[in-house]
Chain A
Amino acid sequence: MKRRGRGIACMWYPIGFTVSANPSAATVKVNEDGTATVLTGTVETGQGSLTVLGQIAAEALGIATDDVHVVSADTDTTPMDTGAIASRTTYVTGNAIWLAAEAAKAILFEAAAPILGVKVSQLEAKDRKIQVKNFPQRNVSIGEVAHRSQAVLGQPAIGSASWNPPTVAMDPDTGQGKPFATYVYATQIAEVDVDDETGEVEVLRIAAAHDCGTAINPMLVEGQVEGGISMGVGMALQEEMLFDADGRHINPNLTNYIMPTSLDMPEITVDIVQDFDPTGPFGAKGVGEPTAVPTAAAILNAIHDAVGVRVTSLPATSEKVLAAIKASRAVEQKQIPA
């Protein structure tokens, strides 16, 4: 008989390296037509980071995502970056790109101030224009300013910057310290059906609520959460590298190492928790790794809720769940008074 259960798991996760420096550097070049090129040493590994980094540069310059081209991942041409690791790209590389864009923007403001007859501090970049704060009708297009700055004033609008998250070393005896600049938080709740005759677990749905500070691109956040949950499902129920008595891996193939497929995926709802981190670019933190953190815990708690057994070793394969159900029944039967 199929028994339904629900399980909850929450988590916290840090952004960036543990204490050690993990800087990013970046260069932002504003072209003479007001579009921009970003140089970063990070690598697009499928998560959409270059899109998010382009959005950060665009926001800082008051232009659109489509106006920005991001060049990445070449040690000869792009500035150093600690790379696509530790959920750090949006937060650390994003901060470097934001600062570099601000530096380029400062050059544009220097060129625009005499045109608009105001001080630099009275300017803002918005809607592809440089305009006077509170007087948006007094404006000049960013392309015109960029062209003038480079071709007339001889000051191309190029900015470079670097950023490293501030941390405090941990005491070797007590671990006390500030190992990370910031953390994100999340909760996932899973609903499962457990067949108490076969031990088979089906994950029906997962409600995921994730904090990432400001969501620079909510669509990519949702994609990360859904991808993380698929890894979590595999960790909870299926995936395991097995070794023989001599230490040889016995299932190094996708026939015997079982990955979740679309048929194993539950219905997922993603909520982004409202948050703003003043230390991140436009309030952003990160989201990559944390999405895979609470899934297995939520599913295992749901199994416990469904059939009353606690599986304490992952993955909770059908065999393991069934053995636990049988063991608990054996105990129950023994407890029946004669």
Chain B
Amino acid sequence: MDDKTKVLEREQLDIESLRESEVDLRLPAVVPREPYPIETLAPDARQQTRAVGQRATRPDGRLHGLGQTRYIDDLSFPGMLHARIKRAGIASARIKSIDTSAAESMPGVMAVLTGKEIPTNSFGPSFQDQPVLVDDLVFHAGDGVAAVAAVTEQIANEALAKIVVEYEPLPAVLDPVAAMREDSPKVHAPDSNIYATKVIRKGDIEKGFAESDHIFEGRFSTQMIEHVSLEPHAAIADWDANGRLTVWATIGRITLARSDMARTLKLPMSRIRIIGTIVGGNFGGKNEITQEPALALLSKKTGRPVKGVFTRGEEFTSTTTRHPIVMDYKSGVANDGRIIARQIRLVLDGGAYCSWSETTLGKACILAPGPYKIDNVVAEAFVVYTNKTMTGAMRGFGAPQVCFAYESHMDDIAKALGKDPLEIRLLNAFDEGSPSPTGQVLHSVVVKESLRKAADRFGWEPRS
């Protein structure tokens, strides 16, 4: 009986609360006015006068926490249009025709742009091999073929579906090792698919192997990875009546962005202003322009500010990624665990465009022998075009890949020789003043200190 009463009571309460919420729903939603404290609640660390070494909080942290930081997608200007880019969806092809007439005649569509309208349709930090929008050949499925500016993002999306592109499919090159062969189809014909190489030679590798007690070999490979920043690539371009261009962009390198914009748009630098907004994650993925020249030209065509925000899908298919690398290691080791000689060959999948591949190639090659004293080294690295999403800068520039290889290889050596993994590293690691594989005398070297500190913290004990 009691239980039944309770149930009835509860139902009554539920009904009451529903009524209350109905009342609430009828009222306009007004956020209670809680004025933010005028004074910043500055913790002591920000007030210390030995500023270095202090655990000072970030001035932007407060704004992030209160939702007051304005990322690109929070910015809006009167009359602003929204841009979307049509993606090829085919890895390798010749464009036979692009028909934008149906899209252009849609109500709400203000302008359509194709690659042929871009004054200098190529950019890139090392080689200028990347078009803003492809005009003749498609080099990977994420390539942009046309851009639309419309009054809403929805209309822009609908317009993309009405753009008709006719392709003549071409053979796609997907495997970087196969792409190195002479008879492979060329991604950027007539150039070789191998577009940059690096070599490091130190000592006498053959003599080193001959003097070694053991030879170890291994092949390691890594995958393609996307940065997946929380904030996608986004920008707003405003081409004003004086012919001056202002771009708000999620770019970590505004100086390079301005020179890339000046090149692609054939504008003097004094007429371009790049404002780097607070960037919601970079990790190497926002070190160069992407859609900005297209947004600028759409703004020029329409006389209105134009915003473009990549979808998560475009972040994967149409921005740079981490290089997959195939890594061959061969090491000559003495009985006591000392590495006498090491030979390395790296093949980097460069994707459709160079981007930061040349830099990644160089760093991967230099770092590939590991932080170890090795007198005889040969490291060769190749970066190869394929018809895949372009690879570029990503946190570590090839170092996480080669570290995976040289440290896996090191443990294989340790196991074969019955050595403790910590001990064999301490035996081989750089000291202050050790020469690097490129012959550089190293200073401020604390690799052994880091090994001991991590081992202490972890509680690493040698196993018998």
Chain A interface (Cβ < 8 Å from any Cβ of B): 6-14, 17-18, 41, 43-46, 48, 50-51, 54-56, 58-59, 62-66, 68, 72-76, 80-86, 126-128, 168, 170, 173-180, 182-183, 185-189, 191, 205, 207-211, 213-220, 228, 231-232, 234-235, 239-241, 243, 245-249, 251-254, 257, 259, 269, 271, 273-279, 282, 285, 288-290, 292-298, 300-301, 304-305, 310, 312-315
Taken together as a complex, chains A and B put the C-alpha atoms of A234 and B59 apart, in Å, by 30
Q: Give, as a whole number of angstroms, the nearest-CB distance from A268 to chain B.
A: 11
Q: Contact at A312–B52, with CB atoms within 8 Å?
A: no
Residues of B within 8 A of A217 (CB): 53-56
Tell me the minimal C-beta distance from B156 to chain A in angstroms: 19
Contact check, A253 vs B312: say whether CB atoms are below 8 A apart.
yes
Q: Do B274 and A174 touch across chains, with their CB atoms under 8 A apart? A: no
Taking a contact as CB atoms closer than 8 A, the residue among B55, B172, B273, B444 that contacts A276 in the complex is B444
Q: Is the CB of B444 within 8 A of A257?
A: no
Q: Is the CB of B457 within 8 A of A207?
A: yes
How far, in whole Å, are A268 and B367 apart by their CA atoms in the complex?
26
A188 to chain B, nearest CB (A): 6
Top 3 closest A-B pairs, CB basis?
A247-B91, A83-B253, A73-B276
From known contacts A187-B450, A241-B223, A315-B223, infer whether A275 and B253 are also in contact, taking CB-CB under 8 Å. Answer: no
CB < 8 Å A-B pair total: 388
Tell yes or no: B397 within 8 A of A by CB.
yes
Name the B residues within 8 Å of A43 (CB-CB): 251-254, 276, 279, 282
Q: B8-30 interface mask toward A, CB cutoff 8 Å, 1 = contact, 0 = none?
A: 00000000000000000000000
* A51 vs B408: C-alpha distance when bound (angstroms): 37
Q: Known contacts A43-B254, A173-B201: does B444 contact A182 (CB below 8 Å)?
A: yes
Within 8 A of A (CB), among B379-412: 379, 387-389, 393, 395-397, 399-400, 403-404, 406-408, 411-412
In the complex, which residues 443-457 of chain B have their Cβ closer than 8 Å to any Cβ of chain A? 443-447, 449-451, 453-455, 457
**With A207-B457, A276-B444 known to touch, is A83 a contact of B283 (CB < 8 Å)?**
no
Among B51, B53, B225, B407, which residue has its beta carbon within 8 angstroms of that of A218?
Answer: B53
Given A175-B200, A231-B395, CB of A243 within 8 Å of CB of B281: no
Contact A176 B256 (CB under 8 A): no
Chain A: which residue is nearest B326 at the CB level?
A313
Query: Can you pick out 9 interface pairs between chain A and chain B where the beta carbons lie within 8 Å of each other?
Result: A12-B430, A43-B276, A55-B51, A64-B51, A81-B254, A207-B458, A211-B444, A257-B226, A312-B220
Task: Of the listed stretches B41-49, B76-84, B103-111, B299-307, name the one at the interface; the rest are far from the partner chain.
Answer: B41-49
Q: A241-B226, A271-B453 are in contact. List 20 more A-B contacts (CB 8 A).
A: A41-B254, A43-B276, A48-B58, A51-B59, A76-B273, A183-B444, A189-B460, A207-B455, A211-B450, A219-B56, A247-B141, A247-B388, A248-B90, A249-B317, A271-B457, A273-B449, A290-B399, A294-B407, A297-B407, A314-B221
Question: Is the CB–CB distance between B254 and A83 below 8 Å?
Answer: yes
Write the chain B residue with the least CB distance to A205. Answer: B458
Contact check, B366 vs A18: say whether CB atoms are below 8 A apart.
yes
